[in-house]
Chains A and B, each alone.
Chain A
Amino acid sequence: MSKVRVLVGTRKGAFVLTSDGKRERWEVGGPHFGGWEIYHLKGSPADPNRIYASQTSGWFGQIIQRSDDGGKTWIQPGTPPSEQTTPQGPPKGESNKFVYNTSPEKGGKPLTTHMWYDGTQHPWEFKRVWHLEPSLSDPDTVYAGVEDAALFRSSNGGQNWEEIAGLRGHGTGPRWQPGAGGMCLHTIVLDPSNPKRMFIAISAAGAFRTDDGGKTWRPINRGLKSQFLPDPTAEIGHCVHRIAAHKSRPGVLFMQKHWDVMRSDDGGDSWREVSGDLPTDFGFVIDVHTHEPETIYVIPIKSDSEHFPPEGKLRVYRSRTGGNEWEPLGKGLPQSDCYVNVLRDAMAVDSLDTCGVYFGTTGGQVYASRDAGNNWTPIVRDLPTVLSVEVQTLP
């Protein structure tokens, strides 16, 4: 029978929730890395036992952790705790090292500043890894989206990281500006039909695409409108919160922007709004049903100044028409006095026959639906603030 493993990153550690394919009874493992902020964990599609985790702290900086046994044990890649020396000498702890590439010889550019909140230029400073996206085919290759916004890649299981400098060197970099949460690259979508194509999103620069494996990038923000910008339809500057795509149709993208739910049918070349009859089109998460490419999920949040559900009712909204027509799904979710938020990386779907949908809240609940959103139950209720949720469907 299939199994499901839910990987939960929180403000105070990582948790691994496991169940059989019925998804009725759950075992809660953790906390791993207790006391540290775990922005994201994600398993390799090519080897489900390989899981990468971003462990971070305002005191101690960035740590990358890796598990090769499905989350039971963890190592810092290249620095096993029992190995203080290797045949090559002492390990160098390089897995923690994220250094921007400013070397023209390595394809980088001497880009050192971006726009600060007040419009002045500000040095680019590494703060943390927001999102880890393992390669679809190679367990040792993984991408990292970081703050201040940049894209890094490791091709040796997280031991060393190198910036994919073409993105930051695109030319608009000096005009990128942080959102309220910092200037973070938080979304990485890999195209399963084309290994050279990748989509990323940055708050608050917008969405970008590469078609040549990361050498060159283009902004893909045509059709987005952001009223807070001097030019609401500007090439860059949009606060994209999340992008999702169905694996069978990688050219069809769905976006939850700061305000507005958007759709693109041409790989991001143009976007149109599909907010339709949502009660509010502000929100953070968006995801696509595993088996139905036109079925999408969002969780509307009241506004950018009131980060909680409208009317104190926590409801997922589902569209079976690829947007515009939405239905509220609240059965099993709190329908009064609920004032939690659901952050951008905190929703995921499994790939069982009846698609499971999962999300975590800032109140520490992780909710699951075994029937594509019709009914919901909490797996756990009292975790620290949930930052991210990912799901692995195991044989």
Chain B
Amino acid sequence: MIRVVLPPHLRTLAHVGMEVSIDVQGAITQRSVLDALEACYPMLRGTIRDHDTLQRRPFLRFFVCGEDWSLESPDHPLPQPVALGKEPFLVIGAIAGG
């Protein structure tokens, strides 16, 4: 199972806690993780990636194993600790606004 940590507003929207575990088929990439996340929690569609273009929303970033993967290709395989469920895939909102 792949672990995904969501920012607080998305936890409320999806009615989940800080972290969810999802089953991801095939290669473990940003795209496959987010596809699986949105399939499990369809209310999140459009909130992390643009509904139409599937581009990452500008005020969100993706971190894995202490590194910012936001600008990596969405099809680049994620590190092994994420694929093994030892480390989570983090969706982080920018600290901004009032």
Contact = CB atoms under 8 A, between A and B. Distances in A.
A229 interface: no
B67 interface: no
Contacts of A93: 38, 42-46, 51
Contact of A97 (B14, B46, B48): B46
Interface string A81-106: 10010000011111011110000000
Interface residues of B, number: 27
A96 B51 contact: yes
B41 A60 contact: no
B93 interface: yes
A228 interface: no
Contacts of A57: 9
B42 A79 contact: yes
Nearest to B40: A84
B18 interface: no
A36 interface: yes
Interface in B47-91: 47-48, 50-52, 57, 59-60
B43 A59 contact: no
A84 B10 contact: no
Nearest to B44: A93
B51 A58 contact: no
Interface in A49-63: 57-63
Contacts of B27: none
A57 B97 CA distance: 10
A76 interface: yes
Q: How large is the interface on A (under 10, 10 to 19, 20 to 34, 35 or more residues)?
A: 20 to 34
Contacts of A79: 42-43
Interface string A36-79: 10000000000000000000011111110000000000001001
A96 B97 contact: no
Contacts of A60: 9-10, 13, 47-48, 57, 60, 93
A108 interface: no
Contact of B97 (A58, A81, A92): A58
A61 B42 contact: no
A363 interface: no
B96 to A, nearest CB: 8
Given A58-B97, A62-B46, A92-B45, A97 B9 contact: no
A59 B93 contact: yes
Contacts of B97: 58-59
B1 interface: no
B55 to A, nearest CB: 11
Contacts of B40: 84, 90
A182 to B, nearest CB: 16
B1 to A, nearest CB: 16
A35 interface: yes
Contacts of B45: 92-94, 96-97
Contact of B47 (A91, A96, A98): A96
A90 B57 contact: no
B39 A63 contact: no
Contacts of B52: 97, 99, 126
B51 A59 contact: no
B41 A84 contact: yes
B59 A59 contact: yes
A388 B52 CA distance: 28
Closest 4 CB pairs of A and B: A93-B45, A93-B42, A96-B46, A60-B47
21 contacts: A35-B9, A36-B9, A59-B57, A60-B9, A60-B10, A60-B47, A60-B48, A61-B46, A76-B13, A81-B43, A84-B40, A90-B39, A90-B42, A91-B42, A92-B42, A92-B45, A93-B51, A96-B43, A97-B46, A99-B51, A99-B52
Interface of A: 35-36, 57-63, 76, 79, 81, 84, 90-94, 96-99, 126
Interface of B: 7-10, 13-15, 38-48, 50-52, 57, 59-60, 93-94, 97
